[in-house]
Structure 1
Amino acid sequence: MENSFWTPIGLSIEIAFVSIIWVFIFGVFFGKVMANKKFKGKVLVETIFLLPLVLPPTVVGFLLIIVFGRNSPVGYWIEWIFKQPLMFTWWAAVIASAVVAFPLMYQSARTGFEAVDKDVENAARVDGANEFKVLLFISTPLAFRSIISGSILSFARALGEFGATLMFAGNIPGKTQTIPTAIYIAIDTGNMEMAWLWVTSIIAISFLMLICVQHIRS
């Protein structure tokens, strides 16, 4: 029982951690770009970025299947390179978690970068700093609280992802079975003891992460 309890927890944390690395990179990059740029179609691009936040997880899962499934060009290319389809793999769970977590990271990073004093950034450019140095040593430290808050919220969202993961990665014990899918199966099979243990564990983890976010923002 002990192994069956800890396996989904460890797998969920592992998947969420790997997905948040990609979410952090792309979220900070696009957050910085969208905070400083004005162009035609910006509203449309931002709407696409934020769409996974409001779409039903099953719709996200369906779209991931369409994009990465075996019948798609991307899915065919992945299967040809790695000699196996992407669906129902550990990486499928990572992608599903990253897609649903990205909007939170992007929104927090963009808000943080928008609050940075542009005069400070311009002063650094006048002193000879290139855009990468401005981002690394000026913009990011000044937007640090928003970026860290977004990272924690994105991790929590990735940890609790259910619908897209179930559709795209499945529910394979020890491979793609995360806490939410394990809870679903436990309830479906009448194993309420395990369901309560997993529910309690994810509530505790999420509670601690939200406390951290509130502390950072205060």
Structure 2
Amino acid sequence: MGSRIKKSKSSFIPTHQPVYEALTFAMVNNLGLHTSDYYLLQNPHGNLPFKLETGIKTNIRSGMPFYFVSKLMECEGLDDVREASALVSDEMIYLDLLQVSDIVGRPQNYCYIDGKVFYLDLGCSFVDAHEGRLELHNKHGKPLSRKQLRKSLKELERYSIVGKGGYRSMTLADFAEMPRYLRIPTLNPRGRVSLTSLITEEEIEEIVSRLAFSAKKTLDSYKGSEYLMRTNNNH
């Protein structure tokens, strides 16, 4: 568990990786894409017990403040890999928007069931996270100042993204600001909680900033896409 990010460069905390993963799943769902069922386990006192079935090997680290858990899914056979790949390609704009398109071409990261693709492992949208180690790369951009962020969000209000299958549409500014209002499913207690009760306000603001960078980058790459449209408002 650690980070290759200098503290002066980011507010992200390695032990918060499970929260970042849960948020990524929540944002994917909010764009109309499917995932396996997922939850956040909270362990504020560091004494959460785990009981494993005989013969199962795991590297669960005890004493962590959070754990990300997802439901196992029984996927269909290899004959459906081609159909799954076609569907994933059709969803590329959403994966690029969330900076998780590196899962494409890795069939173990998604599952094809009843004509739909379910994402099983997405990692984190706004920071690379592998086995508790965090890294930032050029694709994540640099945190914006408050003034820069306000300007960026105002520009992003001009365009909307249409959710998968017409699920919903939202401005790209609303996309970037999803972390401010999305609620994360938890198992203890069973329900949904806001990010503000899980991570710091500084982290949330940095996430919004990096998502705004991603939205602008995606807009530049996908202009003319059927999934992007000019927003009709009076601003």
Give the TM-score of the pair, scaled to structure 2: 0.25
Give the TM-score of the pair, scaled to structure 1: 0.26
Higher relative contact order (CA 8 A, sep 6+): 1
**If you compute each CA radius of gyration, which structure gives the higher value, 1 or 2?**
1
Q: Name the structure where strand makes up a greater proportion of residues.
A: 2
